[in-house]
Amino acid sequence: MNLNDLVNRVNRKLSGELLSYYELKDYLDDTIDDINQRLGSAYPVFSDLDSSVSAYDLFPDAWIRKCVVVGAAWYFFIADEEGMLTAEAYQLLYERNLFEMQRDFLSQVPEEYVKGYVDPDTLVDDETAPDPTFGTLGKDSDTGAIVNGSTWKL
């Protein structure tokens, strides 16, 4: 979703507020943190995006509308003393939408965004990997390993 469209959608939920992308960024980040926690994923938060990025398209727009927009509005209202009644309504909707996203989208998270995923192209190949030597290290029969000349006792 285009970031301008995202900001406009969040502002419409805020009953007449006209916050900028930079003013909303913390609330948007909080929603991505929630999504990552629910999905066991590692999607980047808005603060981590390059300034040249004009869209957040890492998951479908439907989930951005249902979770990110509603979540950002909820985070805004809980930070605003006057918005507590509105915050309660958004909290229920946000929690329901996060549950639905977890239920319906979890199996569709691309592997590069699964928390703990290691890109196989970044792994060290066997020819350049250090050659550890395991066994007895010397007197007193200490057990350990020697890796690149460093001794590690186990």
| 123-140: pLDDT as tens digits | 665 555 555 555 555 555
Q: pLDDT > 90: what percent of the chain?
A: 64
Is 119 within a domain?
no
Structure pTM? 0.74
Rounded distance between C-alpha atoms, residue 56 and residue 60, angstroms:
9
Q: Let me know whether 60 and 27 are in one domain.
A: yes
Domain membership of residue 131 as a residue range: 126-153
Q: What is the pLDDT of residue 83?
A: 73
Contact, 6 vs 56, CB < 8 A?
yes
Contact, 56 vs 64, CB < 8 A?
yes
Rounded distance between C-alpha atoms, residue 151 and residue 154, angstroms:
10
Please tell me the total count of domains within the chain: 2
Is 65 within a domain?
yes
Q: What is the pLDDT of residue 46?
A: 97
Q: What is the pLDDT of residue 55?
A: 97
Is 132 within a domain?
yes
Q: Let me know whether 61 and 137 are in one domain.
A: no
Express each pLDDT in 25-73 by its tens digit: 999 999 999 999 999 999 999 999 999 999 999 999 999 999 999 999 9
Q: What average pLDDT does this structure show over 84-107?
A: 93
Q: Let me know whether 105 and 130 are in one domain.
A: no
Q: What is the pLDDT of residue 107?
A: 93
Q: Let me know whether 53 and 75 are in one domain.
A: yes
- Among 22, 27, 134, 109, which residue's Cα sits nearest to residue 72? 27
Q: Let me know whether 96 and 36 are in one domain.
A: yes
Is pLDDT at 104 greater than 80 in this prediction?
Answer: yes
Q: Let me know whether 35 and 108 are in one domain.
A: yes
| Two structure tokens written together for 7 | 């900001």
Is pLDDT at 142 greater than 70 in this prediction?
Answer: no
Is 120 within a domain?
no
Q: Let me know whether 143 and 73 are in one domain.
A: no
Q: What is the mean pLDDT of the chain?
A: 85
Q: Let me know whether 37 and 97 are in one domain.
A: yes
Contact, 142 vs 153, CB < 8 A?
yes
Q: Let me know whether 109 and 130 are in one domain.
A: no
Q: Let me know whether 78 and 142 are in one domain.
A: no
User: pLDDT category, 106, cuts 50, 70, 90?
Assistant: very high
Is 118 within a domain?
no
Q: Let me know whether 98 and 28 are in one domain.
A: yes
Is 121 within a domain?
no
Q: What is the pLDDT of residue 80?
A: 80
Q: What is the pLDDT of residue 84?
A: 78
